[in-house]
Amino acid sequence: MKTRKLGKNLEVSALGLGCMSMTSVYGPAADKQSMITLIRKAHESGITLFDTAEAYGPFSNESLLGEALQPIRDQVVIATKFGFDIDLVTGQRGGGTNSRPEHIRAVAEAALKRLRTDRIDLFYQHRVDPQVPIEDVAGTVKQLIAEGKIKHFGLSEAGVQTIRRAHAIQPLTAVQSEYSLFWREPEHELLAVLQELEIGFVPFSPLGAGFLTGKIDEHTQFDASDFRNVVPRFSHEARKANLALVEVVKGVAQQKGATPAQVALAWLLAQKPWIVPIPGTTKQHRLDENLGAIGLELTAGDLHLIDEQIAQIQVRGERLPEAALKMTGL
């Protein structure tokens, strides 16, 4: 397995594993024992970065990951997140964010128990809290790092000024945001700032929530509980229009003897050496397929062709529902 460095000293596998879909969001939760097996198989295949959050479930995703990784805890990097207004006893969700220092501490303690560990390798603020200065958030995480409970600090979906302010208090190891051929907003400003500050980038939804696999079209029916039912980019009309983008990826995949998913991931890996995508899956064959992207070399000509063709396509539909978009810092 090839490795990459996040920040100045966190070495991880070139691809991580996003675990969110195992318990929520893209339909009903998968079978627990099957997911434990999949997580351990991922590690056997060389993956060392596993991504979860208290909000996934809530809580059930962290508990799943904790059980799966307990026998191999010292061989992996566990990333989890704080920052939503979730009751730590009942799991009841509030209306938005909560990054008050005392809440961050309580979330960290609860996560440590669920993850069956004595430290969290990478602790992200899941969404920026407009009610709490980012300096207070970074200062609290700095204290937790000094106490040995947290190893590295990260932000998710934060704007560049927030990143700069946080980094000045406690150096950031990674920033997480959506990035793929389906959503290229980070190229406008974010990537340059991360390179300047030597912060790693962890793209979530690197396959466009499944769209770039080529397995979804305008006729695809999602489960009633699937989050994509309320995402504007996945409306029937938007999917039909956005298939033009998938055709570009399919064309390159055919030339390279690869799958569309592998091309989409290889494209991300080719952008910067400090980018570590975290595709999620609940299926072993998809995990194996994704791992195949690491050995897929896209030439300068391939990358130019992709950029040239995609530049002519206007992606239709917002990437998140309106309420969720209001919580992003991009």
How many CA within 13 A on the CB side of residue 209? 19
CB 232 within 8 A of CB 214: no
The size of the chain, in residues, is: 330
Cα–chain-centroid distance for residue 41? 20
Q: Which long-range contacts (CB under 8 A, 24 or more apart) does 309-312 make?
A: 309/248, 309/251, 310/181, 310/245, 310/248
Q: Give me the sign of the Cα torsion angle 45, 35, 57, 317.
A: positive
How does strand 93-97 pair with strand 84-86?
A: antiparallel
Q: DSSP 3-state assignment of 33?
A: helix
Give the CA diameter of the chain: 54
CB count in 10 Å sphere of residue 279: 28
Residue type (1 letter), 292:
G
Rounded CA-CA distance 155/142 in Å is 13
CB 36 within 8 A of CB 68: yes
Q: Catalytic pick from 26, 56, 124, 179?
A: 56
Write down the residue that tokens 């956005």 correspond to. 242
Is 124 labeled as catalytic in the residue annotation? Answer: no
Residue type (1 letter), 154:
G
Cα–chain-centroid distance for residue 71? 24
Q: Which residues are catalytic?
A: 56
